[in-house]
């Protein structure tokens, strides 16, 4: 079959499109019908989910089946003006709304991939806020295109919209259409879906990505969110996680559930949510993210002990594990770096300043904590090694006598097919050299990664199984031979071009 | 059939969506491959077509089948920054590009209806820049939705994209797919279409809307545009009009033509293009628009002579006919109003200033020309009558002894189904009262409209027939019983909602 | 004395600062105290004065002596958002406000020169909206700087503010301070000045620049404006011109006048206001601008008759004189060019398009009017000759058999010291060659300029004398030996730098 | 004397102007002349000083005495676009530049107070980047105004510019002018000053505000900055603090010093710089800010011990002291709150969300750390008490058994005259009630403030004395009877208005 996805409309052609992304999902169903509040809920929740995606964001409101939206590139503070929120409030009947923050691979900050997706159809309008990645999206997309479908975006969520719409043609409700579509969708998906009158939440049968249900203050309605920290920000209380495979339907203020797809396969929550993705104050499947990271640090201390004077974390994601390492080892915890609080959003990289200086603007070592000390520095992962190298150099310049690097996860050596953006294995340092060589390469005095065995014990309270495929290479489903993005390679596409009209 | 087009996502709910609009279309095929120039051509051409639509605009470029675009709300000067043009130039291989300016009914300035439409498909990408209106779009849309299609916009152009895509599934080229689709499309359409390697221009068999072909300076390629004035602005020379029903295909620098749909019906160019829509310096079907308006003024002078001291036009669209009236009648031509040149774009209406003052900011009478004179004032049409009333009041205040109003078209009393936005007949003064009553209502000393008979003689050089349905009520095709927008009425939609899931 | 005005903070260093500029002045004093209306008046008036300056603009409001302002670069539509107007309304007590549009020489679109100027002082706040040019500003500036003054801008208005402030230290009212300052100020100035409780209007004793007084509808207050067209736009009625040398003081709703400086010298209104600067619908010193231009065309026809088929004007400023030429000569008036209405504001010049194409985007010849005709084309002036050359080329390409150029003013061959921006005589074609050579250079069949004698008869109704120094070289006051801007030359400045600390 | 500072052009009239502010100062002198780098240095340094002011910022560059600037409201990321940096680079000769971040009291985010100030003068241009507050600015301002000076801003820096300019009229160099001016300036000032050829750094004789000197990498030049963290961000090395009273002059790449004003009074660095203002990674007068805060926590633990299970800090400013408390007390340190990283910049406050919810969006308690624990929570200060109240409520809701509040500074009970913005004592909870009452009011189980005695021992390495006037009421100089802003009270001003012309 001639596949011609000329979809990599990226900024610089460095990197082809990838059909997976990491995102934050939010939906709200209010019994009260308070127009302004529902938009405020979405807006506040997006701030709490912003760490899951800073590339684009959007809110869709509903007025008796008429959908109005605002979406924009960049973080919420850049994409939403006061007038945008006011306009959405005017167009909302105050009952149902969806919101989304999107992470997109480099070069994919393009308007047509912003979410929530809004689709119009004779069976009623539908909006989808999606987090995950399908492994069979290319096949499904080809199938729907060969039936006459047209795609505006390059995102998996449009494939899912087609699958649900296909179901609506024969089924009598949108939830039945979704139930039917799930037989076709292979991979990771956690979604909030809005129809004219319903808010629906769904997770794939493996439960790769988190999704939880909360109740609004004073029982005024329901919310669904990727992480529980989004509930806290709006004063909602945590009710429970959506089950793997479950379809939760909220209509007329009442929650019902379709469980056909539940327990069809063992659950496999992405373990990387605990290690890096989620916010420490979130609780996923009953386990605290902060607790898991503390534990990661404690296991690290057991597996890779060292004599040292101070334990520091690389802010912000290394702080929890550093505290765990300190507690287990008895080595005092210290504040080793000050992170600039003002560059989370747009930072115009100076033209003349190299990568090392770019790191220096973000992180400044605290000489007081480091000078003449043997330092244990804890981070969550090493990607290319370049940044770690600079961090060690900063510590040595600040007077550290020894620098011992501890990583609160195993080496990343396998691709992820379910939504974590590991773009190119050839740039992953752990795929290229041994741990000893990495240690020398980053100029550390010692280097220790968390063991795979300990990873499995990070969240003992969790009521689910885990996917650790990126560390172990063992995936819960058959995965393609090659990384999905390869088929979007420009050279490949150009060859295909020659054969089409 | 349950139809549920919840599509009137308008600003103020005053007015439902209308499936027709007036727009400007442009496409360019360069043999040279000069990256920057092709974007400059589009940009300059849009300035020349801006009078056809000020609500949104866009440019799509092509790099060996990879499409990149920039679209925005408002006029070109607001929607395109220098950096947008530079970015498009970087993403273009300099060969093919499309551009569009869009007029949208009140409340429809929404991002998802901006054009050119860009659709991705396994058979290759496609972009469409469209001007016109289908009369069977609702039926076609329902058909494609019932086959599983999803609509992102509320515009007819997405229906057309589905029809062409349907053809591509079985035909071997996009032009054959288009040829096939044209059997289904009923109504007015003039389009430029871009595929990975081709620029295609097409007009419906009636040729309701204009579209012409030009050649770039030094035979460096081809352009298609709604009006010939866009060719002048980029130094291109006029070659010929696209024939009604013709599909013009430009590939590898060579023009070929599919004429299957030509001469299947008598041609019916919209006569209102000569009266109001087109720019006076454009030549359509061989007839100068300025010439047609001069002629309208001359006929008016014959049909509605009056003793007067000066003939003035309401700027800008009444000036040509006023000159014609002056020439025919021998009454001196004068400049009667100064139009503020700085409010064509955004004008923030003062909160405390009423409609009369709003007109005063735009138009100021030239006392020197008017004082103590018997004035003939020529305009192209009267809509609600309110503005004409204010204009007459301004003339009287400026000292006019008599004010004789002459309108260079017949009264608007029938709906248009082919792209001219007559929103609501109940607000059209000519539907509500007799010409004598209008004359009294606007406080004119006399009022004369151009006769239907003269309208038919406005462009004697034109090689085509005309549609004057909005004046005569006679349409070239069977039209629906009611105005198409009625089916988008909110109340209707809400009733439907109750029956759907 | 070492003068070191390092003030030419221009965009491109091509052109040094010039201490004169052409601007639009507006002030309003309302008895009513309607907060929003006063801002609306300013906003509407600026639209009507926009032709006097498109580089920056501003509005200053007054709340019992507390001044708040908004200023911005570019035209009003770009510089003022709805929220800016609302904010100003909130900060206004609805009584007094000033507004300004500014023309600035190339490269001087810098924030610190925007007006109205707002100065804080122990004697009370003061704001000034200024049009004109001082010939002794450098001397005065040096004087005030040597007394310890600091300058933030490079504009003459700051010099004037110092002169008035100097007067306030000894005089008991601001109008007396102004009266005293006027003995020091040499040159052209028409100003509206706002103190905590007064609106003051003043013209220099020669009355170089226009300034008139109007009364608000229903006698609700007073306005002053550079041109009467600004009164029309807000429904105000023309009362009278401010007299040359007069200080008009509006306080507690009552107008009083200080005439000490009146009739001390013969009045000398800039004749170029009638020829080019003012809007045709304005009446200055009792003479209609449109009337003066009609007359200019008629004199041209008498002085430079020619056999031709049509007379056309270069839009917009050549249209009135073309009509006059037509009337006097009997040659039919025609519409020769369509001017693009959408490029008055920001037009991003295409990078690859040369000057000729840039003109083509703005002006398109109307072939219908021109083809096979002997054309008389009327314009108000020729600067470099380049544009005229392109215009003639366009006419010839459009089929004109002959092109006869008529200019409704004499050749520009002397510098202006009073506010008209003639930047560099070496680029003025009339300073470089004879009229015959210009005619050949622009490829015209004939060329005729209006005679100096006729210029003096353009506005016979005017109650004042005229300055025609730019044509005649005769100035009402002693002017410096060299153009004032020379002292801002960068090389000069750099030499000076060496001597300063 | 009639004083009429109508200067409180604030957003909401709640709060009058205050002539002091907290700011960040930066200047660079490069020997190299690398155009782009000097702007990058400024830009990066501003990011590192952003915590000292988020209300406006600016950069001024110098091209052989021609100054060009860009200033804007808000944080750097909002105020500077890439094109602004590029433009500044074009206008710089790469040698000298100044930069500034500004904190302004509520309602004072107004363009005319942005810094660096740029003043033009016959003795050469001057730009000033200022941090501090004069106590005699009103008197000096009146003095200069009575000599004919005009003020555009309401900032002390314009008063200082007048004082220096006064000196330039008689002295032969700008540094001598500054030396002379310092005899008149009373209060706190740390400044970087740029003339055509020099970079000058100066601190007032008390040295209230910090200012340090660094050397660019590879000895390519010099920088001055409010804090040493700004040096780190650009790879510069710390050289030394500017001495209290010292004038440091950098010209032709050489540093010289004027010490006339040194050691004339005992040094009095603001102790609040260590407690709150400065970044923990800065070193001021030889003492680490982080070290001082650790020590504050340790003293707190000694002065206010308590039995507890965990010590947490309120992010970010309470973290260091919490760690110190933990180390001294032996109670484990924990992460108690997750602070949202995306709201440092603009956060549109939801209309319907109360203050409690607003805090919830910023801070979320980490239940895992807190539940069933006796919690010590450390913060740097209590202002109104409202936020502390909410924080305690959050901790209790998260399951804390006991909440013990420890504040790492003494109660704020006296006004600051030297640059710390304590707006209104009537809103300071410590001025209104006893510590016991505060404890009850915020619903804490216990409350302890750091003692004044311990404050004096926070930075034992520091080579200077301290000002703790806000805690002790003892100031190094005679201070006015009332807070300076009172004289800007609107009612006062209005009365004055009546007496002026």
CA angle A99, A101, A106 (to 5 degrees): 150
Q: Are C214 and C223 in contact (CB under 8 A)?
A: yes
Please provide residue D13's backbone torsions phi and psi, each rounded to the nearest 5 degrees.
Answer: 60, 10
Report the SS3 class of residue A190.
strand
Decide if B360 and C77 are in contact by the 8 Å CB cutoff: no
Q: Enter the tokens of residue B102.
A: 């869009």
**What confidence tier does D424 reach under pLDDT thresholds 50, 70, 90?**
low
Q: Number of B to C CB contacts under 8 A, please give it.
A: 171
Chain C: closest CA distance from residue D26 (Å): 21
**From D333, D353, D369, residue closest to A333, measured CB to CB:** D333
C383 three-state secondary structure: coil
For C5, C181, D121, D132, D165, the CA distances from C139, given in Å and listed in that order, are: 12, 14, 13, 36, 18
pLDDT score recorded for residue B416: 84
Whether pLDDT at C18 is above 90: no
Answer yes or no: do B497 and A124 touch at CB < 8 A.
Answer: yes
Percent of chain D with pLDDT over 90: 67
Annotated active-site residue C439? The verdict is no
Q: How many residues are present in chain B?
A: 501
Task: Provide, as residue numbers in chain A, all residues whose Cβ is less than 8 Å from the Cβ of B4.
Answer: 65, 122-125
Element (DSSP H or E) covering residue C273: none
pTM of structure:
0.89
Neighboring chain A residues of D323 at a CB cutoff of 8 Å: 333-335
What stretch of H or E contains D258? strand D254-258
What HEC string does C233-249 produce?
HCCCEEEEECCCCCEEE
pLDDT at D493 over 80: no
If pLDDT is split at 50, 70 and 90, which confidence band does D356 have? low
Eight-state DSSP code of residue B280: T
State the Cα–Cα distance between residues D361 and D394, nearest whole angstrom: 12
- Residue in chain A closest to B155 (alpha carbons) equals A120
Write out the DSSP string of B311-343.
EEE-TTTTHHHHHHHHHHH-PPB---EEEPTT-
Q: How confident is the model at residue D181 (pLDDT cuts 50, 70, 90)?
A: very high
| Sequence-distant (≥ 6) Cβ neighbours of residue D88 within 8 angstroms | D39, D59, D61, D68, D69, D70
Is the pLDDT confidence value at D348 over 90?
A: no
Verify whether the Cβ–Cβ distance C335 to B344 is below 8 Å.
no
How close, in Å, is residue B151 to chain A by CA atoms?
Answer: 5
- Predicted confidence at residue A499, as pLDDT, reads 35
CA distance B242 to B246: 6
Beta-carbon count within 10 A of C172 CB: 11
Q: What is the mean pLDDT of residues A443-466?
A: 95
User: Does A172 sit within 8 Å of B6, measured CB to CB?
Assistant: no
Output the pLDDT for position D110: 67
- Comparison of pLDDT for A167 and D429, the residue scoring more: A167
**Amino acid B84: pLDDT:** 87
Per-residue pLDDT at D495 exceeds 50: no
Chain B CB within 8 Å of residue C435 CB? no
Q: How would residue A219 be classed by pLDDT, with cut points 50, 70 and 90?
A: confident
Given CB atoms, is D495 within the 8 Å cutoff of chain C?
no
Tell whether D127 lies on the interface with A, counting CB pairs under 8 A: no
pLDDT higher than threshold 50 for residue C217 = yes
- As given in the structure block, the two tokens for residue D73 are 């409201």
Cα→Cα distances C150→A66, D116, D127, Å: 60, 15, 12
Question: Who's near C85: CB < 8 A, 6+ residues apart?
Answer: B348, B350, C39, C40, C43
- Minimum CA–CA partner of A171 in chain B: B501
List the single range of A16-25, A50-59, B239-248, C149-158 with lowest mean pLDDT.
Answer: A16-25
Q: With 80 as the cut, is the pLDDT of residue D257 above it?
A: yes
* D341: contact with C, CB 8 A cutoff: no
**Residue D81 burial (C-beta neighbours within 10 Å; 0-12, 13-18, 19+):** middle
Confidence band (pLDDT; 50, 70, 90) for A498?
very low
pLDDT at D105: 61
Beta-carbon separation of A361 and D40 below 8 A: no
Report the pLDDT averaged over residues C341-364. 67
Selecting from A77, A232, A368 the residue whose C-beta is nearest the C-beta of D345 gives A77
State the residue for tokens 């990271």: A293
The C-alpha of D307 sits at a distance from chain A's nearest C-alpha, in angstroms, of: 19
Mutual angle of helices D289-303 and D319-329, in 10-degree steps: 50
Prediction ipTM score:
0.88
Are B34 and C352 in contact by the 8 Å Cβ rule? The answer is: yes
pLDDT per position as a tens digit, C227-248: 999 999 899 999 999 999 999 9
Rounded to the nearest integer, the mean pLDDT of chain C is: 86
Between D87 and D290, residue with greater pLDDT:
D290
Given a cut of 70, whether residue D35 has pLDDT beyond it is no
Reduced to 3 states (helix: H, G, I; strand: E, B; else coil), residue C72 is: strand
Q: Which of C225, C236, C321, C369 to mutate to test the interface with B (most CBs of B within 10 A)?
A: C369
Residue C129 pLDDT: 98
pLDDT of residue A207: 97
Q: Do A80 and D280 touch (CB under 8 A)?
A: no
Number of H-type helices and E-type strands within chain A: 18, 24
pLDDT at D34: 72
* Terminal alpha carbon distance of chain C: 15
Q: Which of residues 203-222 of B touch A (CB under 8 A)?
A: none
User: Which residue has 């809701």 as its token pair?
Assistant: D397
Residues of D with catalytic roles: 23
Contact A353 D36 (CB under 8 A): no
**Nearest Cβ partner for D67 among C6, C150, C174:** C6
Instruction: Among B304-318, D351-365, D463-477, name the one with the lowest average pLDDT.
Output: D351-365
Closest chain C CA to residue B336: C281
C396 touches chain D (CB under 8 A): no
A224, containing H or E segment: strand A221-225
Q: Which two tokens stand for residue A498?
A: 């020659």
Cα B200 to Cα A497, B229, B238, B248, D233: the distances in Å are: 18, 20, 17, 5, 56
pLDDT at A5: 29
Which residues of A are less than 8 Å from D366 in CB distance?
280-281, 288, 290
Greater pLDDT, B483 or C299? C299
Closest C-alpha among C27, C189, C147, C193 to residue D501 = C193
pLDDT at A290 over 80: yes
Q: What is the DSSP letter of C324?
A: H
Average of per-residue pLDDT across C93-97: 94
CA atoms of B333 and B328, how far apart (whole Å): 11
Distance in angstroms (rounded) separating the CA atoms of residues C395 and B351 = 45
Report chain B residues whose CB lies below 8 A from the CB of C48: 340, 361, 364
pLDDT category, C147, cuts 50, 70, 90?
Answer: very high
Residue B242 Ramachandran class (φ > 0 left, ψ -120 to 50 alpha, else beta): beta
Per-residue pLDDT, C432: 86
Average pLDDT over residues A71-82: 87
Chain D: residue whose CA lies nearest to C153 = D120
Predicted pLDDT at A423: 54
pLDDT value at residue B83: 83
Neighbours of chain C (3+ CB pairs under 8 A): B, D
Helix (H), strand (E) at residue B385: none
Q: Which single residue is written with the structure tokens 């393009």?
A: A110
Least confident of B69-83, D189-203, D323-337: B69-83
Q: Tell me if B246 sits within 8 A of B213, measured CB to CB.
A: no
Closest to B142 (Cβ–Cβ): which among A8, A122, A493? A122
Mean pLDDT of chain D: 86
**What pLDDT is attached to residue B105?**
61
Residue A291 corresponds to which tokens in the numbers above?
Answer: 């607790």
Mutate one of A83, A214, A312, A348 to test the D interface: name it (highest D CB count within 10 A).
Answer: A348
Per the listing, tokens 């009733």 go with B495
Of A241-250, C79-88, D32-41, minimum mean pLDDT range:
D32-41
Residues with pLDDT less than 70, chain B: 1-21, 33, 35-36, 105-110, 344-356, 420-425, 481-501
The mean per-residue pLDDT over the stretch C405-424 comes to 82
Burial D162-200 (b: 16+ CB within 10 A, else e): bbbbbbbeebebbbbbbbbbbebbbbbbbbbbbbbbbbb
Which residue from C498, C146, C13, C150 is spatially nearest to D196, judged by alpha carbons? C498
Q: Residues 3-42, chain C: which have Cβ within 8 Å of D?
A: 3-9
| Distance (Å, whole) CA C203 – CA D32 | 52
- Evaluate whether B392 touches B441 at the Cβ level (below 8 Å): no
Q: Which of A228, A330, A345, A371 to mutate to test the interface with D (most CBs of D within 10 A)?
A: A345
- The verdict on C349 touching B (C-beta cutoff 8 Å) is no
Cβ neighbour number for residue C425 with a 10 Å cutoff: 14
Q: Is B489 within 8 Å of chain A by CB?
A: no
Q: Where are the alpha helices (DSSP H) in B170-234?
A: 174-181, 229-233
Q: If you count DSSP H runs as helices and E runs as strands, how many of each does chain D have, helices first?
A: 18, 24
H or E stretch at C430: helix C429-432
Sort out which chain D residues have CB atoms less than 8 A from A235's CB and list them.
357, 360
How many residues are given for chain C? 501
Mean pLDDT of C269-278: 93
Separation between Cα atoms, residue C378 and residue C448, nearest integer Å: 10
Reported confidence tier of residue C20, pLDDT bands at 50, 70, 90:
very low
Q: Which two tokens stand for residue D240?
A: 């030394």
Q: How far from D368 is each of A102, A211, C59, CA to CA, in Å? A: 28, 20, 57
Q: C183 burial class (0-12, 13-18, 19+ CB within 10 angstroms)?
A: exposed
CA of B244 to nearest chain A CA: how many angstroms apart? 25
Beta strand residue intervals within C206-356, DSSP E: 212-215, 221-225, 237-241, 247-251, 254-258, 269-270, 283-284, 287-288, 310-313, 337-339
D203: helix, coil or strand? strand
Q: Alpha-carbon distance B177 to B171, whole Å?
A: 6
Q: How far is B85 from chain A (nearest CA, A)?
A: 14
Mean pLDDT of D410-417: 86
Q: Do B364 and C48 touch (CB under 8 A)?
A: yes
Q: Which chain A residues contact residue B490 at CB under 8 A?
A: 66
Say yes or no: D180 contacts chain A, CB-CB below 8 A: no
Nearest-by-CA chain C residue for B348: C82
Tell which A residues from 77 to 96 touch B, by Cβ distance under 8 Å. Answer: 91
A-B contacts (CB, under 8 Å)? 154
Decide: C426 and C263 in contact? Cβ < 8 Å: no
* Planar angle of CA B485, B489, B493, nearest 5 degrees: 125
Q: Tell me the pLDDT tens digit for each residue of D103-145.
A: 876 545 566 788 999 998 999 999 999 999 999 999 999 999 9
Q: For residues B168 and B196, is the Cβ–Cβ distance under 8 A?
A: no
Given the residues C23, C57, C229, C467, the one annotated as active site = C23
What residues of chain A lie within 8 A of the CB of B144, using their CB? 148
Which residues of chain C have a CB within 8 Å of the CB of B85?
348
User: What pLDDT is recorded for position C418?
Assistant: 81
Q: How many CB atoms lie within 10 A of CB C473?
A: 11
Segment (H or E) for B245: none
- Burial of residue B255 (CB within 10 Å: 0-12, 13-18, 19+) is middle
Hey, which of A7-21, A29-43, C141-155, C418-432 has the most confident mean pLDDT? C141-155
Give how far B494 is from chain A: nearest CA, Å: 7
Task: Please check whether residue C17 is in contact with residue C485, taking contact to mean a CB–CB distance below 8 angstroms.
Answer: yes
Averaged over A237-245, what is the pLDDT? 97
Instruction: Give SS3 for C403.
Output: strand
Residues B467 and B475: their CA atoms lie apart, in Å, by: 7
| 3-state secondary structure at position D313 | strand
């Amino acid at each position: 079959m001639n596949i011609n996805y000329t979809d990599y409309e990226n900024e610089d052609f460095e990197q082809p499109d990838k059909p997976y992304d990491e995102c934050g999902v939010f939906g709200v169903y209010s019994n009260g019908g308070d127009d302004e509040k529902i938009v405020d809920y979405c807006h506040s929740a997006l701030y709490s989910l912003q760490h899951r995606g800073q590339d684009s964001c959007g809110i869709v409101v509903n007025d008796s089946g008429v959908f109005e939206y605002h979406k924009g590139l960049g973080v919420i503070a850049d994409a939403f003006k006061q007038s945008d929120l006011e306009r959405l409030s005017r167009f909302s009947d105050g009952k149902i709304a969806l919101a989304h923050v999107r992470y997109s691979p480099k070069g994919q900050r393009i308007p047509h991939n912003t979410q929530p997706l809004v689709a119009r159809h004779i069976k009623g309008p539908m909006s989808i806020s999606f987090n995950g990645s399908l492994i069979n999206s290319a096949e499904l997309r080809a199938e729907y295109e060969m039936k006459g479908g047209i795609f505006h975006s390059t995102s998996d969520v449009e494939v899912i919209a087609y699958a649900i719409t296909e179901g609506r043609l024969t089924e009598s409700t949108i939830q039945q259409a979704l139930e039917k579509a799930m037989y076709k969708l292979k991979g990771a998906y956690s979604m909030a879906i809005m129809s004219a009158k319903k808010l629906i939440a769904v997770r794939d049968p493996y439960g790769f990505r988190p999704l939880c249900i909360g109740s609004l203050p004073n029982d005024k309605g329901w919310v669904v969110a990727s992480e529980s920290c989004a509930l806290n920000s709006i004063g909602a209380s945590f009710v429970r996680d959506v089950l793997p495979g479950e379809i939760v339907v909220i209509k007329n203020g009442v929650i019902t559930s379709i469980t056909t797809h539940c327990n069809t396969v063992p659950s496999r929550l992405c373990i990387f949510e605990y290690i890096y993705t989620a916010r420490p104050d979130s609780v996923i499947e009953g386990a605290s993210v902060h607790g898991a990271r503390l534990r990661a640090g404690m296991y690290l201390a057991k597996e890779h002990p060292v004599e040292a004077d101070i334990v520091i974390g690389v802010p912000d994601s290394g702080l929890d594990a550093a505290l765990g390492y300190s507690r287990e080892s008895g080595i005092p915890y210290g504040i080793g770096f000050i992170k600039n609080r003002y560059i989370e959003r747009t930072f115009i990289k100076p033209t003349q300043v190299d990568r090392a200086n770019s790191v220096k603007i973000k992180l400044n070592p605290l000489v007081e904590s480091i000078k003449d000390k043997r330092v244990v520095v804890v981070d969550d992962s090493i990607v290319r090694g370049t940044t770690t190298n600079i961090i060690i150099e900063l510590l040595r310049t600040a007077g550290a006598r020894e620098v011992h690097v501890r990583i609160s996860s195993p080496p990343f050596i396998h691709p992820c097919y379910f939504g974590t953006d590991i773009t190119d294995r050839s740039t992953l340092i752990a795929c290229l050299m041994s741990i000893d060589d990495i240690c020398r390469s980053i100029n550390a005095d010692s280097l220790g990664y968390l063991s795979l065995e300990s990873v499995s014990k990070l969240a003992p309270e969790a009521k689910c199984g885990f996917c650790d495929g990126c560390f172990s290479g063992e995936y819960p489903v058959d995965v393609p031979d090659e990384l999905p993005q390869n088929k979007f390679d420009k050279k490949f596409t150009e060859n295909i071009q020659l054969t089409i009209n």
